[in-house]
Each structure stands twice: as C-alpha cells, then as structure tokens.
Structure 1
Amino acid sequence: MSLFNSHRQLNLPAAIIAGGAAGIVSGLVKLGWENVLPPRTEARDATNPPQTLLEQFGIPAEVTHATYHYSGHSLPWVSYVIHFGFSTTFAVLYQIIGEKIPAVKKDAGTWFGLAIWFAFHLGLMPAMGTVPSAKDQPKEEHVSEALGHIAWMVTNDLVGAEVYRRLVAEKNK
C-alpha cells in the first residue's frame, strides 16, 4: 500500500467546499464541547487565547473583546471569527491532504486532531506566550483540549467525507 493515493483524482473545488462545510459544523461541535468540559478557568477565559493572540499582534483590547448580544448574552464575535477561521482552515487542509495521503485520515482523523492539539496547545501557543507552558496548564485543560480536538477532527472527517462524496457524485451524474 502506498502512502500517496496517486490513482484517485482530487476534485479541488469539492474538497474546499466539503472542508469549509465540515469546518463550520466541527467549529460548532468544538464550542459545544467546551461548554460541557471548559478547558480554562473563568479567570483565564476573561481574555481567551484567540483574544490574547490578536493582542500580541497589536490589536487593541476594545477590538479583541468586541461582542454582540443575543438572548441576554454578550458573545465574543472576534473570538468566533478566529475560532471558525482556524476550524475551517484545518478542515479544508485535512480534506485536501487526506484525499491524496489517506494515512492522514487514519482512525477518522483522531491522530490528526491530536497532532493539531499537540502542535498548537503544547507547542506554538506556549512558545509565543499566548497560553501558559504545557506543564503550567491544568490537567483539566489538557483533557478538554485533547478530547475536544478528537471530537472536532472526527466531525471534520465525517462531514467532509460525506459532503465531498455527494459533490463528486453530482459532478459525475
């Protein structure tokens, strides 16, 4: 078995659409996951990692903490833009790369999701000072983020594969 699937033709527009749809759905799943198992304390979430990252790039707090109001709640729309941007970007990449390198999709993306968690939450963001070092993060944060990244990527895998399959089938009718 080859690492690369050179026999399969990639339908790039379908992969981008499928990944984009999957990224939106999986972004909602990840937000829901964090409501059930919050990764951070309320104090650490007062300025969440997307807001911290933007502030590190010089964007003022009045922008990073901008909210919209719905049903009596103030919701951080700027954080949601970063959240869904990250989710859809990686879902599209996963869909495209996974069509050419099937090993990426092993175990419905579980390992890919864990690799993203490890790279960002234990590597890049601590190195940038966006979040505390891995050893200084509470174990609850590791559990929530690791399992949340698995749920996120399995959702990308399932939704992306089905949307891609349907788009390619439509084209071939």
Structure 2
Amino acid sequence: MVINMNKINWGKSISIGVTAGLVAGLVKLGWENILPPRTPERNQTNPPQKLLEQFGVPAKITHATYTYSGQQLPWVSYLVHFSFSAGFGVIYSVGGQLAPWIKKGNGVPFGIAVWDFFHLKLMPMMGTVPSPKDQPLEEHISEFLGHAIWMWTIDALIKAKK
C-alpha cells in the first residue's frame, strides 16, 4: 500500500492530535484519582520525576510544585505527562493516516501497547520503575485500563474533529 503524504493535512492533523492528547491527559489524570497506580510511598518520586532525575535534572526542579486550593501540585510532572500525551496524540493522529491499523478497536489496543512498551518494558529496563513482577497488581490494573481509556479518548476526539 502506497500512502500519498501530500493528502495529509499536516497542520490540522498535528493540531487535532495535540488537542486530543491534552484532553486525554486530563482524562488519564482523573482516572488516576479514581484508581491510583502507585502507593503514596512510590509516588513520592513519580515516574516522570525519576526519569528526569535519571537524565541529570536535579530533584529541586523535578519536585517543583505550585500551590492551588491549599495543595502542592507537581508542575514538572504535569509538564512531562501532558507533553507525552500530546506527543502521542500527534503520533496517533498522523500515524493513523499512514498506518490505519493502529486505529483498530478505537485506539484501545494501541493504548495498551503504549502501556506495555513503556510500563512493562522500557521504564523497568531503565530502572525508572520496578520490574513488572515487583509492581503491585493495582498498578497494572490502573495503568492498563487508564491507557486504554486515554487512547480511546484521543481516538474519539480525533474522529469528532474530522
């Protein structure tokens, strides 16, 4: 199958992908409030913070917060979270036109594949999170379902904007 790259409206595809990714990032954060993936102890340094620290970013930056409604919120973690989500929104928006098979199942299998690759393979290999066998079952359930709903949201928003 030959794909005509000129038939892709790149500006619209990227814009929709970013927007869908940001909204889906909010959905994923909401999901994690209902089914938290990590224990409070493991969340003292969450995976985005740990990853940045592994790349040499000092803890005083990775743990930087802002205060809202009397709560300290990790803005650096949110920056990583939403950048990842927007980036995958673009990958899905453009990639779905280049390789339509990734859109099967309204994006749910693709979201689960993202979880599998990052949470069960790459991040454990890098030492960012524990080995999958050392992660609690609750973490696997939350992240598996959360990534499925996250990508389903991206898919739904992209379809709504076409």
TM-score, scaled to structure 2: 0.96
| Structure 1 unaligned residues grouped into runs of 5+ | 166-173
The ranges of structure 1 where at least 4 consecutive aligned residues each deviate by more than 4 angstroms after the TM superposition are 4-8
Q: Which structure would you say has the larger Rg?
A: 1
Which residue of structure 1 aligns with residue 84 of structure 2?
A: 86
Which residue of structure 2 aligns with residue 46 of structure 1?
A: 44
| Percentage of matched positions with identical amino acids | 57
Q: Please say if residues 23 and 88 of structure 1, whose CA atoms lie closer than 8 Å, have aligned partners that are also in contact.
A: yes
| Structure 2 unaligned residues grouped into runs of 5+ | none
1:71 is aligned, of 69, 72, 83, to 69
Deviations 1:120-155 (A, max 9, x none): 000000000000001110111000000000000000
Q: C-alpha distance in 2, partners of 1:159/1:14? A: 13
Which residue of structure 2 aligns with residue 134 of structure 1?
A: 132
- SS of the equivalent of 1:47 reads coil
Q: C-alpha distance in 2, partners of 1:52/1:31? A: 18
Which residue of structure 2 aligns with residue 108 of structure 1?
A: 106
Q: C-alpha distance in 2, partners of 1:16/1:43? A: 37
CA RMSD in angstroms comes to 1.4
Q: C-alpha distance in 1, partners of 2:117/2:34? A: 24
Amino acid corresponding to residue 54 of structure 1 in structure 2: L
Q: Please say if residues 12 and 96 of structure 1, whose CA atoms lie closer than 8 Å, have aligned partners that are also in contact.
A: yes
Deviation, 1:101, is 1.7
Equivalent residue runs for 1:2-81 within 5 Å: 9-81=7-79
More off after superposition, 4-13 vs 139-148: 4-13
Q: C-alpha distance in 2, partners of 1:133/1:148? A: 19
* Number of residue pairs the alignment of both structures matches: 162
Q: Please say if residues 39 and 140 of structure 1, whose CA atoms lie closer than 8 Å, have aligned partners that are also in contact.
A: yes
Q: Please say if residues 19 and 92 of structure 1, whose CA atoms lie closer than 8 Å, have aligned partners that are also in contact.
A: yes
